[in-house]
């Protein structure tokens, strides 16, 4: 898809003259701001997410939505057993998801560990597919800041276009919001021109209020995207936590003029699920986010189901089990 002009990344310079210019002046002002955010109506949030999930998308609109979802995927492999061959195969699939139908959109990116960035970069060279790299001691984030920053710089030096970092959940849950904020700022600086996705691991934050606070910390600190999860814990992306984050980016842009993307990751495996998330985007943040520059799916097996459904719409029948690769 054609990428729109990038909005300048948020941060102190971008927030000058906004209501948030002094929010991060000290740990006290940041804490006061975060605890002053409206409390989340759990029942209302989950009911709205469920209601939007019942919307039906038919025929031409469904075909468009499936192609849009394919174009929004960060095709991901983050396993200890990853090999160069597996990453090259992933890159080939990202560039030509369906080799029998070259009208199939490319995925937005491939996402790998830092040591596989160079291999992934070579595999997608010239295609426009981005290479994203997890960093900052993913997935636990248990390392010294110097180690995390070295991880980021290694990935960027190898050619990463995007960095997916994890926040220090221990610091966040202990109420040390300034530490979380300052770490994101430092990672943003180390990322250089690479876009930064900040992962909250929503399944470990316990409450919707905490997810809202983490979203605002990420946006204030300079995140280009806020991301639900690593995909490595029991609870990952859900319609409700993604809806909450979409509300946050909508409100942030309304008050600052700065647009931030959203990436749900983990547990989104079917076309039906992906289309529900696209409805959430359209109805909550708006059409400006219906583009892979501002919305992504962190997934691996999701692409296979989207391809199966795409062929079903084109031919009227489901393909055989060998039509798509098994991830």
More confident residue, 14 or 293: 293
What is the rounded end-to-end Cα distance, in angstroms, of the chain?
25
Instruction: Tell me the pTM.
Output: 0.92
Please, are residues 197 and 165 in contact by the beta-carbon 8 Å criterion? yes
Q: What is the enclosing helix (H) or strand (E) of 93?
A: helix 84-95
Mean pLDDT, to the nearest integer, of 246-259? Answer: 96
**Rounded-to-integer distance, Cα 252 and Cα 219, Å:** 8
pLDDT for the residue 17: 63
pLDDT for the residue 307: 96
Can you state the percent helix, strand and coil of the chain, rounding each to 5?
Answer: 50, 10, 40
Catalytic residue among 188, 197, 263, 276: 263
> Is 168 one of the annotated active-site residues of the chain?
no
**Rounded-to-integer distance, Cα 125 and Cα 122, Å:** 5
**Rounded-to-integer distance, Cα 11 and Cα 188, Å:** 10
Closest C-alpha to 278, from 43, 71, 45 = 71
Give 111's contacts (C-beta < 8 A, 6+ positions apart). 74, 75, 76, 77, 78, 131, 132, 133, 134, 162, 164, 298
pLDDT for the residue 148: 98
> Is 227 one of the annotated active-site residues of the chain?
yes
pLDDT for the residue 20: 86
Mean of the per-residue pLDDT values of the chain: 92
Q: Write the pLDDT tens digit of every residue in 139-154.
A: 999 999 999 999 999 9
Q: Write the pLDDT tens digit of every residue in 190-228.
A: 999 999 999 999 999 999 999 999 999 999 999 999 999
Inform me whether the pLDDT recorded for 327 exceeds 70. Answer: no
Least confident of 232-241, 279-288, 307-316, 317-326: 317-326
Catalytic residue among 74, 98, 164, 273: 164
Tell me whether strands 73-76 and 225-227 are parallel, antiparallel or unpaired.
unpaired
Q: Write the pLDDT tens digit of every residue in 17-58.
A: 677 889 999 999 999 999 999 999 999 999 999 999 998 887
Catalytic residue among 106, 121, 188, 227: 227
Q: 111 - beta bridge partners? A: 76, 132
Residues present in the chain in total: 327
> Is 41 one of the annotated active-site residues of the chain?
no
Inform me whether the pLDDT recorded for 257 exceeds 90. Answer: yes
Inform me whether the pLDDT recorded for 324 exceeds 70. Answer: no
pLDDT for the residue 316: 80
């Amino acid at each position: 898809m054609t990428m729109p002009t990038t909005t300048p990344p948020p941060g102190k310079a971008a927030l000058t003259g906004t209501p948030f210019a002094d929010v991060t002046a000290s740990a006290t002002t940041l804490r006061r701001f975060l605890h002053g955010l409206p409390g989340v109506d759990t029942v209302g949030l989950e009911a709205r997410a469920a209601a939007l999930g019942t919307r039906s998308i038919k025929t031409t609109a469904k075909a468009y939505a499936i192609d849009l979802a394919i174009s929004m995927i960060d095709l991901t492999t983050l396993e200890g057993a990853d090999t160069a061959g597996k990453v090259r195969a992933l890159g080939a699939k990202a560039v030509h998801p369906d080799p029998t139908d070259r009208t199939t959109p490319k995925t937005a990116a491939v996402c790998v560990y830092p040591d596989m960035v160079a291999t992934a970069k070579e595999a997608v060279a010239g295609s426009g597919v981005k290479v994203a790299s997890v960093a900052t001691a993913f997935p636990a984030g248990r390392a010294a800041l110097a180690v995390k920053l070295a991880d980021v710089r290694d990935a960027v030096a190898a050619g990463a276009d995007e960095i997916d970092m994890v926040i220090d959940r221990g610091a966040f849950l202990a109420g040390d919001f300034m530490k979380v904020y300052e770490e994101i700022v430092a990672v943003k600086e180390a990322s250089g021109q690479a876009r930064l996705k900040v992962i909250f691991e929503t399944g470990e934050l316990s409450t919707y209020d905490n997810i809202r606070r983490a979203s605002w910390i990420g946006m204030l600190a300079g995140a280009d995207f806020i991301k639900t999860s690593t995909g490595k814990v029991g609870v990952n992306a859900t319609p409700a936590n993604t809806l909450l984050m979409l509300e946050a980016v909508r409100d942030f842009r309304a008050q600052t003029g700065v647009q931030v993307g959203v990436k749900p990751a983990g547990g989104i495996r079917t076309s039906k699920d992906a289309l529900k998330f696209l409805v959430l985007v359209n109805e909550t943040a708006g059409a400006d986010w219906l583009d892979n520059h501002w919305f992504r799916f962190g997934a691996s097996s999701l692409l296979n189901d989207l391809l199966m459904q795409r062929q079903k719409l084109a031919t009227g029948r489901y393909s055989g089990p060998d039509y798509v690769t098994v991830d």
